[in-house]
Structure 1
Amino acid sequence: MRPSFCLFFLLFSTAIFAQKEREKYPEIMNQDWPNLQKYQEANAAISEPPVAVFMGNSITEGWVNMHPQFFSENKYVGRGISGQTTPQMLIRFQQDVIDLQPEVVVILAGTNDIAGNTGYSSEKMITDNIRSMVVLAQANDIKVVLSSILPVYDYRWRPGLEPVAKIKSINSWLKDYASENGLVYLDYFSKMKDDRDGLPIEYSEDGVHPTSAGYDVMQPMAQKAIQEALENQ
């Protein structure tokens, strides 16, 4: 069999397979799973590198929506997407962090993985994705602030998971990893937890997402962590 015919056959077979997969899983094959389109226009409109990019989920997105001046006045940029898990953030890390050339990235991730938003995630799966984001940042001379996962006693959309132990274990890993690699660890958990290791009502109405008062607690902590990263990394 001639090489040219083999190549044609391989390409033809691949095309047929792709078409069958598209017909079998139309929603999956056609969707923008990491939501790369969400910030494309906003990214293109940035004229100078920000001091810090906040990479995260709905907690970060809600922060920007609720306290926009905190970001604009400090030359911070929020790149949170509601519901996202660490593999989705990792895919868009190039576009939504590296390409913006910030001095610092503040990573707040993991709670939706624990909730199972994109399927089961082991602790190692979560920490591997976070580690990969750190490696990408450091390879591009971006300083890193690793945020703890916020306290959660129960996820209303996935009740009964009992996430406290997993959150505390991942936070312990984040703290150790930050210490071992010269990163800044931002410990929201210890500052905001109640006696059940969840978020108290004054900081969250649903036990997961901060209220304005919750963000008031987080803001000076984030500023201090960013300044520490700028000075010490």
Structure 2
Amino acid sequence: MCALQPVAQAQDRPAINPLYLMPADQATPAQVTQMQQRLLDWPQLQRYRDENAALPPVAPGAKRVVFYGDSITEGWGPTGSERFFPGKPYVNRGISGQTTAQMLVRFQQDVIALKPAAVVILAGTNDIAGNTGPTTQAMIEDNLHAMVELAQAHNLRVVLASVLPVSDYPWQPGVQPAGKVTALNRALRAYAAQQGLVYLDYHTAMTNKDGGLDPELAADGVHPTPAGYAKMVPLAEAAIARAQGR
């Protein structure tokens, strides 16, 4: 008789968003709306459709850059705002809560179709949190590699960002993400070197002794404060300059 295998430790198991396990009669109206929206438009292709159509052509001599990601990117501020690189031809296409699988689906319309010179990709933390179901590191890497390959096929320069430090997710406690983030970032750094991409290392510059973010950089431990974004800006600008200089 075969011995039973030990149950995997929590840090070894992909996380599952508790919303997927919740009985329907226990969900709040906001949670029901969220699930309905996901069923109707899972990758949220409608989110930026009007803004994309209204985006003016790139000015002569300018180099458009698309910042592509989840709430950490979206929270930087909308395109053209004083919070998001004022005066720069940068476009924000972050969507809160998204995982790499959702981002891959909308990459054509929200990045390639905008004809940027470069794209800054920051994604993966919501996959680790299990926002769209159990996801392994290999699955995250596959989705990010596919986005990079699409960008390269259209001659876009790619800045591949590290996942920001996080020691706990308020909406998904117990995942113990710090080690998973470090492992994913190690793989992303190696992939960037192999592919000749610019690796944007937010993690090293922002992590604390617990592998997370200090409260002054992220009050909830995940989403940057103004001070957190202020720390990210020069890192992003330097990475973009390196990418455009190649």
**Aligned to 1:73, what secondary structure does the other structure show?**
coil
Q: Is the counterpart of residue 97 in structure 1 residue 88 in structure 2?
A: no
Q: In the alignment, is residue 41 of structure 1 matched against residue 41 of structure 2?
A: no
Q: 1:32 to 1:76 in 2, by over 3 A?
A: same
Contact 1:54 1:107 in 2 (8 A): yes
Cα distance change, pair 48–157 in 1 and its aligned pair in 2 (3 A) = same
Q: Could you tell me how far apart the structure 2 residues matched to 1:74 and 1:94 are?
A: 22
2:166 alignment partner in structure 1: 152
Give unpaired runs (5+ residues) of structure 2. Answer: 1-34
Contact 2:79 2:90 in 1 (8 A): no
Q: Is residue 66–residue 212 contact of structure 1 (8 Å, CA) maintained in 2?
A: no
Deviation at 1:39, TM superposition (A): 0.3
Partner Cα separation in structure 2 for residue 30 and residue 153 of structure 1: 30
Give 1:68 shift: 2.5
The alignment partner of 1:71 has SS state of coil
In structure 1, the partner of 2:237 is 223
- The alpha carbon displacement at 1:205 in A equals 0.4
Q: 3-state SS of the aligned residue for 2:77?
A: helix
Alignment partners' CA distance in 2, 1:59 and 1:112: 10
Say if 2:215 is the partner of 1:201.
yes
Which residue pairs with 2:99 in the alignment?
A: 85
CA distance in 1, matches of 2:176, 2:39: 34
Deviates more, 1:115-124 or 1:41-50: 41-50
- CA distance in structure 2 between the partners assigned to 1:51 and 1:28 by the alignment: 30
Distance 1:194 1:54 in 2: 25
Decide which of 56, 69, 79 is 2:69's aligned counterpart.
56
Query: SS of the residue aligned with 2:159?
Result: strand
Q: Paired residue for 2:25?
A: none
1:98: Cα distance to partner? 0.2
Q: Deviations over 1:50-98 (max 9, x none)?
A: 5200010000000025993333411100000000000000000000000
Closer/same/farther in 2, CA of residues 170 and 211 from structure 1, 3 Å limit: same
Structure 2 letter corresponding to 1:97: V
Distance 2:205 2:141 in 1: 22
Query: Which residue identity is paired with 1:58?
Result: S
What's the TM-score once normalised by structure 1's chain length? 0.85
The question of 1:134 aligning with 2:148 is answered yes
Secondary structure of the corresponding residue to residue 68 of structure 1 = coil
* C-alpha distance 30-189 of structure 1, shift in aligned 2 (>3 A): closer
Equivalenced residues, count? 207
Relative to the length of structure 2, the TM-score reads: 0.81
Q: Name structure 1 gaps, 5 residues minimum.
A: 1-25
CA distance in 2, matches of 1:150, 1:28: 27
In percent, how many aligned pairs have the same letter? 54
* Runs of 4 or more above 6 Å deviation: none
* Residue 48 of structure 1, CA deviation: 1.7
Task: Measure, in 2, the Cα distance between the counterparts of 1:147 and 1:164.
Answer: 16
How far apart in 2 are the matches of 1:147 and 1:29? 26
Q: RMSD of the TM alignment (CA)? A: 1.8
Secondary structure, aligned partner of 1:74: coil
